[in-house]
Every structure is written in C-alpha cells, then in structure tokens.
Structure 1
C-alpha cells in the first residue's frame, strides 16, 4: 500500500470520464464547479484557462492542467474580457460541437485536447489531496514528466482507435494519468507539506506501515521501532510534518477506511470494525459518529443515494 493510492481510493466514486475534442476559430466554454477533479491536456495548438478563483493559465501543446477540487473554469481560444467570459457556452454544448468537428482535417488555429473528470467525495479528503492548489499546471517542456507523457499518448490512442478492451483500458489509463499528474506536481519542488512528508524517511516509513495494516495493534513504541528511531524522534518529526500525532493520524485513517468500506461494500459493521482495528461494532460506531457526525448506517444509506447521481460531462 502507499499513501497516494490510498488517498485517491478513499474519495473516488464511480468511473472517470474522458473525451478527445478539436475546435477551431473563436470559442469560449465554461465548466461549472463539480464534485471531483478535472483535467485538460493540449495535444495541438494553444488555449487559455481561467479558474473561478482568478487563476489564469496559458496552455500550449503538450501542457496538462489538473483541477483537483472541481473548480469551475472557463477555457477559451485566447484571453477574454469579462463580457466574453459571461457569454461562454456551457461545456456540454461546446463539447458536442467540438466532437462533431473532430472528424474533419485540422485547420489554422485548430486546438486538440483530451478532457476528463474524476468523481470524488467532498468529505474526508486525505490532506495530501486537500493541499493541492486549485490549478496544477504541468508544462509539456522537453525532457520532463516522461511517465505522464507516455500515459497521455496511450490514452489518446485508445480514444482514437477504440480497439478490443477499450472499456477496460480507458478507465485504467485515466487512473494512471491522475497518479502521474499528482506525482509530477510533487516533483516540481512545490512548497506543499506532503512532498516533504513522503520524502522524509521516518514519516514515510511510518505512513507506509500504518497504511499497509491499519488494523494492527499499533503503539507509538512499535511504530518508532518500525521507523528505526526513538519514540520522541518519531513523535516530533511526524507531528511537525504531518500536522497530527501518529496515533491521531491512525485513528483518522482507520475511520476513513471504514467510511470507504461502508460506501463501497455490503460488509457488516462487525466485519468492517475488525478490518480497521476496532474490537466491536459499538466501538467503531462511537468513533465514527464522533468523526463524521453521523452513524455508520446513515452514512451508508446517504452514500448509496449519492452514488446514483450521474457524473457531469467532461
């Protein structure tokens, strides 16, 4: 197990969606805020993105941009004044027109993109994902982000060719793309806390073993021994970098895993309690209500209701 994979798995809902589009001339489309993360990859040409929070990015061929918090935004052929932005076409309408035109030969000023969305639950995001900025811009400069470029190329080919196994290949490639975009952000020398957390050998080891077996009877002494340091050293480094003590993080993570099992499985509360390190379903229910403000049964019912909501077009 690893922290990034677990962080994504804890909040993901359903399957991601994607499409490949081409548009020419003067255009301006708006994507409303949504519950999840979205991305655009420019394959040819250039365009401009303005997030609702005010972040503006110019995107060139090979650039990727991730909006990890579902921020609403405008994407257009060039920087637009406020009046133009207000007249932006809803992305769903624009996308349909763009896909129709994608079968024709590229003309002057043509822009080709991969666009997609991941559906995430808003509650209880892992702090690694929560600290991502509203807009993650990953320039397509030569020699950078090799794995990300390879995933983009493979995804583009699958969307073009739709060969046997297409329905399995595309979701897998979209998952890979998300991981590589976040990895690339972490490798950019960002000032975020979690790149430092995962590069520190003590905290990284402690997190790895906690995530590998959250149900184990962990203590500070046992965790310090796993990390190869004294208990005070572990407590100091972990709390400073992660922002909470090792045992407080473990409790939070156990309950986060329990929430995912309630959402994604039909396992009994007793089985879930044992999987996440609680001796009885009562003990889990008490801790769960304190953390989430609702009972496990109500959380499961509400999750089932929201699971039927369609993913916004992307």
Structure 2
C-alpha cells in the first residue's frame, strides 16, 4: 500500500452511492452537510455549486468537484440569491424526478453524476484533512486522463443496467475518489502533502513505514531506507510531515488498529501483532491514550463485526 491509498482506506467505510440525474429549466437543490465526502460530475450542460460559507463555483461540461469534508451546498442553474436558496428542493426529491422540470431534454438542460462516500472521521490522515472544502477539477483537454476515463466508464455503467453493474459501479466510484485526490495532488502547489510526497527523503520514509508498519523500526533503520543520515531524516521528515518519524509511526499504527477493530472481528492480540505492538496490553494502553476509550468500547461504538477484544 502507498500513502495515498492508506490515507483513503483508513477513513472509507461502507459502500459509496451515486445518481445520474437530468434537469432543465429553472432549478435549485439543496444537499445538507454530510458525514462523508460528496462529488458531482457535469456530464452535459453547466450549473453552479454554492457551498455553505464559500464562494459560488461555475461547473462546465466535464468538470468534476469533490467535497471531501461533506460541506453542505446548493446546486442550481445559476448563481442563486438567498431567496432562491431558501426555496431549494432537497436533493432526494429533485433526483427522484418529482421536482420542477426534471427532464434534461429542455433547452439548457444539465446532466449530472452525483455521489457520496461514507467516511469515519474519528482519526483522519493529515493528507485527507488538508484537502480544501471544495476541490474543483475543471475539464481541460489532455488533463487528468485517468480521471476522465473513470468518469466515462462510470457514466456508461449508470446510463443503463448491465450485467455486473452491481460490482462495477462501487469499484468505479472508489477509483473515482482516488483519481480526484490524485488530480488535486498533481495540481496543488501550496499544500503540505503534495510537497511531502514529492520530497525524496520524506516520501521514501513514508513508503517504508506504510509498507511494513509492524516492523521494528528505528530512526537509524529508517534513515538507511531513505538513503540519508539520521539527522537529515529527522529534520526533513519533521519539517514536512509535522511530527518526527517515530511519532508518525506510532500514530499510524493506532490508526490502523482502529480500522481493523472497526472492520474485522479479529482479537486484540491479533490486532496488536498486525500493527507492531508486543502485547494486547501495550496496544490497549496506547490506544486508550490516543482515542480516549478502550479498544473494546471503540469497536462497540463503531458497530464493528466482532466483540472479541481480548
């Protein structure tokens, strides 16, 4: 696993959902704040995104937009005023075709691919936390070819029911999330994590830690992996990532443990071995200090598939 994949996997829960909708005429729909991430892709036409507390964004054909923190927002045919926003229909009503002008055949009609991902925000990786409230990825010829391909494939699958769509659509939605975040990393020039992943020392150290988090890492061993001296590793890694290498490793091990507790029935002893702790007691003590609760209670609160926390 690489850092971006791990950062996404640490928070992704459940299955993503999506709708392909057409609307024409004058329209305005409201999507409330969501404990996850939402996205829209404009397949035809153009429209406006009005995020809560943010500036309106014009979306043209081929544009993709990700709302990684579940920001509430309005989608409309134009830069709607406060009165129009107040009258906005709930998205479920609008997408169901019972709102005004549900047909995209009208002049100026818009076709959208809309969806959302469920996320567990109890311990978000700093890469995910750094994403802005709105990630707008305008369509430009030759830009982000993987993202464009994923959008095309997803649009075709949602256009009509085909054999295997039940498997293909969730997989394509997961792929779409990866490509949207990758596109942001490629375009962003001011964030910390694009710089982290471009830095040869920090990136090499992170790859090593994520590839085998249970290994008996030391600063000296990690410096060898990164091909630099221990002081150079400590200085570069801490400056870019925001915490020393071993502190990041400890945090990441506990984040992995939380995900395993949430998603599997594995015993605490098994979880401890998988994330590099010598005993269940050592993991439980560190976990309680980090999360403010015991592993067993955490599993119960998150509705984990098992209760074997011994």
Task: Report the TM-score range of the alignment, normalised by the length of the smaller protein.
Answer: over 0.9
- CA offset at residue 175 of structure 1? 0.6
Q: CA RMSD in A?
A: 1.6
- CA offset at residue 161 of structure 1? 2.6
Is 2:51 aligned against 1:51?
Answer: yes
What's the counterpart of residue 287 of structure 2?
288
What's the counterpart of residue 273 of structure 1?
272
CA distance in 1, matches of 2:61, 2:152: 13
Q: How is 1:152-301 mapped onto 2 (pairs within 5 angstroms)?
A: 152-301=151-300
Question: Does the 8 Å contact 1:22/1:99 carry over to 2?
Answer: no
CA separation of 1:305/1:248 partners in 2, compared to 1, >3 Å: closer, same or farther?
A: closer
Deviations 1:54-107 (A, max 9, x none): 2310000000000000000011000011111111111111111179977x6722
Question: Does the 8 Å contact 1:22/1:98 carry over to 2?
Answer: no
CA distance in 2, matches of 1:135, 1:56: 10
CA separation of 1:100/1:8 partners in 2, compared to 1, >3 Å: closer, same or farther?
A: farther
CA distance in 2, matches of 1:105, 1:118: 26
Structure 1 counterpart SS, 2:15:
coil
Q: Larger relative CO (CA 8 A, sep 6+): 1 or 2?
A: 1
Question: Any unmatched runs of 5+ in structure 1?
Answer: 307-314
Question: Does the 8 Å contact 1:55/1:135 carry over to 2?
Answer: no
CA distance in 1, matches of 2:98, 2:235: 54
Normalised TM-score (structure 2): 0.96
Question: Does the 8 Å contact 2:262/2:304 carry over to 1?
Answer: no
Q: How is 1:15-94 mapped onto 2 (pairs within 5 angstroms)?
A: 15-94=15-94
Deviations 1:3-45 (A, max 9, x none): 1110111111100001100000000000000111000000111
Question: Does the 8 Å contact 2:26/2:101 carry over to 1?
Answer: no
Structure 2 counterpart SS, 1:133:
coil
Deviations 1:230-254 (A, max 9, x none): 0000000000000000000000000
Structure 1 counterpart SS, 2:163:
coil
Structure 2 counterpart SS, 1:21:
strand
Is 2:124 aligned against 1:125?
Answer: yes
Ranges of 4+ aligned residues in structure 1 off by more than 3 Å: 98-102
Structure 2 counterpart SS, 1:249:
helix
CA distance in 1, matches of 2:114, 2:88: 17
Comparing 105-114 with 173-182, which one deviates more in the overlay? 105-114
Question: Any unmatched runs of 5+ in structure 2?
Answer: 306-310
Aligned residues: 305
- CA offset at residue 143 of structure 1? 1.4
CA separation of 1:44/1:198 partners in 2, compared to 1, >3 Å: closer, same or farther?
A: same
Deviations 1:263-295 (A, max 9, x none): 000000000001000001000000000000100
CA distance in 2, matches of 1:105, 1:26: 11
Deviations 1:116-139 (A, max 9, x none): 000001111000000000000000
Normalised TM-score (structure 1): 0.94
Structure 2 counterpart SS, 1:15:
strand
CA distance in 1, matches of 2:4, 2:100: 37
